[in-house]
Amino acid sequence: MTAPTRPRLALPRYTSELRREAARLAHAARGIGPDEPVPTCPGWTLADLVRHVRQGHDWATTILTGRNTAFLPPGDLTCAPEDGRSWTERVVELGARGPAGALADPGRRARLLAEGADRLVAALDGVGPEVPLWAPHGRQNKGFWLRWALYETAVHRADAVLTAGLPFEMDADAALDCVDFCLGAFGEPAARPFLSPRFARVPRGGETLSFRSDRAVPGGPAHWLITCAAQGVRVVRDAPAGAPADATVIAAPSDLLLVVKGRLRPRSPRATVLGDRALLDRWLAHAVS
């Protein structure tokens, strides 16, 4: 298990970065047709990706404005049949609903993304820091949603950028906050229903994995040590630099985010891998959603 952290960035920084990421996503998508496949999201088109981001922003906005303290599914997932599908499978299907032609105009896509981000920022600004709010895991207040909003938008901006064949960069502190949000969830039992259904098959024999930024950034961790214990996955934040691990990944902050989310193969020259590559490949194949 791992204890949830407080937000690494100040509130105005989260909200400005959220708007910035939404605008960058729209810009990256300008030259991509709505029916263009998104390689990092198999089965999705660009239109699916844009709809998914807007649906996520609307979901968080509804929870924040309604001060919800119980689970509220996004969209109309409450109408979905109980057919055994996972959370991630249901959300993927929700993002694929709707005609791609409606998002053929790049200007319309940009307005849709900007409007969703603006509404979410207004909702975040309107809630006090300790107002109780339901969250999938971690702190049950707006702190979770601050981090989630930036993380979700940045990762999907990466999907659009990589589809367009462009480089992906974030400020180091913001990128590492996203890495921490992602890796920290693996150590929280409450997060399990919201992870990939394949997560149940990650190693459980005491294997260890280290994910390390190639630079330290003030304000939060830059090195995470994951232990795949039989009783559950444990995550140590700010592990000592020399902490031993069966497999280690070292990369620049933006690239480290791409690695932990499966958007950059660890064999890329932009990531250094030490130790058991097969273990790292197995972890990424089962932990990434």
Residue bearing the bigger pLDDT, 75 or 178: 178
> pLDDT value at position 80?
46
By CB atoms closer than 10 A (0-12, 13-18, 19+), residue 269 is: exposed
Cα separation, 228 vs 219, whole angstroms = 27
pLDDT higher than 80, residue 101: no
pLDDT level of residue 81 (50, 70, 90 thresholds): very low
What's the whole-number mean pLDDT along residues 87-100? Answer: 66
- Write down the mean pLDDT value for the chain: 91
Return the structure tokens found at 12: 């105005």
Whole-prediction pTM:
0.93
pLDDT tens per residue across span 14-42: 999 999 999 999 999 999 999 999 999 99
Residues 6+ apart with CB under 8 A from 115: none
| Residue 3 pLDDT greater than 90, yes or no | no
Q: How do residues 133-155 score in pLDDT, each as one tens digit?
A: 999 999 899 999 999 999 999 99
Euclidean distance between the first and final Cα of the chain, in Å? 20
Confidence (pLDDT) at 241:
81
Distance CA 38, CA 55 (A): 18
Given a cut of 60, is residue 224 above it in pLDDT? yes
Question: Greatest CA separation found in the chain?
Answer: 53
Task: Say what percent of the chain tops pLDDT 90.
Answer: 79
